[in-house]
Amino acid sequence: MTEHEHVRVAVIGSGFGGLGAAVRLRREGVTDFVVLERAGSVGGTWRDNSYPGCACDVPSHLYSFSFAPNPDWPRTFSGQEHIRAYLEHVTDVFGLRPHLRFDSEVKLMTWDGENLRWEIETSSGTLTADIVVSATGPLSDPKVPDVPGIETFPGKVFHSARWDHDYDLRGKRVAMVGTGASAIQIVPAVQPEVERLTVFQRTPPWVMPRVDRAISGAERRLHRLLPLTAQARRGLLWGIRELQVQAFTKRPNELGLVERLAKRNMTRVIKDPELRAKLTPTYRIGCKRILLSSTYYPALAQPNVDVVASGLSEIRGSTLVAADGTETEADAIVFGTGFHVTDMPIAERVVGADGRTLAEAWSTGMKSLRGATAAGFPNWMTVIGPNTGLGNSSMILMIESQLNYLADYVRQLDVVGGRAALDARPGAVEAWNTRVQERMKRTVWNTGGCTSWYLDANGVNTTVWPGTTTEFRGATRRVDLAEYDLLRPPAPDPAPGHRADGGRKKKLEAGA
C-alpha cells in the first residue's frame, strides 16, 4: 500500500459482508475501492473457525449469496471448509483479487471534516477514503473470560475460533468451557479421541436434531442444468424460516411445542436422570439460539465425558475449579465462550466528527440507523450492525439487504454530486431504535427468561432483528435523505488563524 493513497471506498473485512460489498460496488460501477483484511486470506468466520466439527446451522442453499448460487454444495448443512472454498471461489469469479489488501489490520479511522473523508491507519500503511464500509463481523473477535489463576495453568489453552491444529488432543484430559453453538460441535468431534472430556456448562442449551445428509449427484446435476430448481430449494428454505418468525417475535408461547420436541430429543438419548436434570433448560426455547445437533447428546452420554453444571470460576495449576466447587484435572482448556459482540473492538478504532470514538458514542448501547449508519460518523457504514442478527435464518439475507442500502447510498451521493457526505440525523437514529426496541418487548429473546449474548451489559437487546428478513429488506431498499444531514466542505476561512469547524458547521446549517 502506498502512503496516503486515496480511494472512494475502503471496505474492512473479507468475510461474506466485505466480499459481498466488493461485488456490489463493482456492480454499481465503483472500481476505486480496496478491501482491507487483517488476515492473509478471505473467508472471515469461515477462515478463522476451523475447529473439529465446524459447520453451518443454516442449509447452504440459503447460506450463500443469491447472486452466486452454488449447485454443488455437497451436504445440506455444509462444513467450514466448503463454505471457505465457496468464498475463495466468489473472490475469483467476481474478480475481487486486485482489490484485496491482506495483512492490513485497521488500527484507527478518523473523520476529517475539512476534506470530508476518512483517514485510515492500517498495519500496512495509511490511506484516505470517501466512504468506509466496516464489515468486521459481529462474531470475529474471540472472548476469553478472565478466569482467576489462568496464568498458573501449565497446559494448552485456546479459543474455539483460534484452534491450535499443532496440538494433539489424543489421550489428553480436555476441558471444554461453554456450551454454545461452537462447543456443541466440538464436543462430539473430539470426544472419541480424548482421554477425558469435562464440559463446563453455565446454562444448558436447547438442542434440536440436525437433519443433515449428503446432497446426491442427481440433485446437484439437476441444480446445475436447471438453476430454477436450486432457486426453488432456496425459496422453500427461506419461506419456512420466515413463517417461524412470528413465534419468536410475537407469540413465544407457541414455541412450547418445539420445546417438547427438543426435550424428547434429549431424553431419548440421555438415560441418566442426574445428567438429564443438568441438561434440561429452564427458559423458553429460542431465548438463546436454538442449537442443531444429532451428535451432541450421544457424545455427552459416553463414559469419558463429564458435565459440570456450573461455570469455571478459578484455575489452580492444572486443577480447574467450578463455581459449585467441583475440581477437575486437565491438560488442555478449550474456550467456546463466544465473541465480543456488543462491545466490538472496531468501535474503539473509529473517531467521528466530534472527536468521540464509536465506542464512546455507544457506551450506553449500540445504536444505528437501519443497522448501517451512526450519527456523527459520516459516510461510515457497517454491515451486520446493531439489531441485524437473526435467531433462525441466514445472515446472508441480512447482509444482502445492507448491500442494497450501500448501493443506494453511493447512488445518492452521486446524485448530490461534488464533495459531499451523509451523516445520520440523531432524531432518525432515535426513531429507528425506539421502533426496534418497542417491537423487541414481546420477543422470546427479551421475555424468555434467559441471559444471552444478544443482550448488552445493560440488558438491552442491541443485536437481534425483531422481524422478518422481508421487513428488513423493505427497510433497507433505499436511503431516505430526510434521515440524513448533507455535509459539504467548509467554505475557505476568511479570517487568517481562525480554524473552520470543518464539515460540522455545514452539517448544522444543513440540518437546521
Ligand X SMILES: Cc1cc2nc3c(=O)[nH]c(=O)nc-3n(C[C@H](O)[C@H](O)[C@H](O)COP(=O)(O)OP(=O)(O)OC[C@H]3O[C@@H](n4cnc5c(N)ncnc54)[C@H](O)[C@@H]3O)c2cc1C
Site residues (CB under 6 A) for ligand X? 12-18, 36-39, 44-45, 49, 54, 56-58, 63, 105-106, 135-137, 139-140, 181-182, 346, 383-384, 394-395
Q: Shortest approach of ligand X to residue 138 CB, angstroms?
A: 6
Q: Which is nearer to ligand X, 15 or 188 (CB)?
A: 15
One-letter amino acid for residue 493 of the chain: D
Q: Which is nearer to ligand X, 58 or 132 (CB)?
A: 58
Q: Shortest approach of ligand X to residue 336 CB, angstroms?
A: 9
Distance CA 55, CA 75 (A): 10
Q: Shortest approach of ligand X to residue 110 CB, angstroms?
A: 14
Q: Shortest approach of ligand X to residue 394 CB, angstroms?
A: 5
> Any idea what the Cα angle at residue 145 is, between residues 144 and 147, rounded to 5°?
130
- Spatial neighbors of 186 by CB under 8 A, at least 6 apart, are 51, 52, 53, 160, 176, 334, 336
Q: Shortest approach of ligand X to residue 57 CB, angstroms?
A: 3
Classify burial at 499, counting beta carbons within 10 Å of its beta carbon; exposed 0-12, middle 13-18, buried 19 or more. exposed
Distance CA 400, CA 390 (A): 14
**DSSP per-residue codes, 32-63:** -EEEE-SSSSS-THHHH---TT-B-SS-TTTS
Q: Which is nearer to ligand X, 33 or 63 (CB)?
A: 63
Instruction: Compute how many other C-beta atoms are within 10 angstroms of the C-beta atom of residue 168.
Output: 11
Q: Which is nearer to ligand X, 57 or 314 (CB)?
A: 57
Q: Shortest approach of ligand X to residue 340 CB, angstroms?
A: 11
Q: Which is nearer to ligand X, 126 or 447 (CB)?
A: 126
Q: Which is nearer to ligand X, 185 or 315 (CB)?
A: 185
> Any idea what the Cα angle at residue 25 is, between residues 1 and 379, rounded to 5°?
75
Identify any residues that bridge with 486 across adjacent strands, giving them in sequence order.
422
Q: Shortest approach of ligand X to residue 225 CB, angstroms?
A: 28
* Largest separation between any pair of C-alpha atoms in the chain: 83
**DSSP per-residue codes, 74-112:** SBSS-BHHHHHHHHHHHHHHTT-GGGEETT--EEEEEEE
Q: Which is nearer to ligand X, 394 or 476 (CB)?
A: 394
Mark out the alpha helices in 320-462 (DSSP H runs).
358-361, 395-416, 426-440, 444-447
Q: Which is nearer to ligand X, 72 or 105 (CB)?
A: 105
Dihedral class, residue 418 (left if φ above 0, else alpha if ψ from -120 to 50, else beta): left
Q: Shortest approach of ligand X to residue 136 CB, angstroms?
A: 4
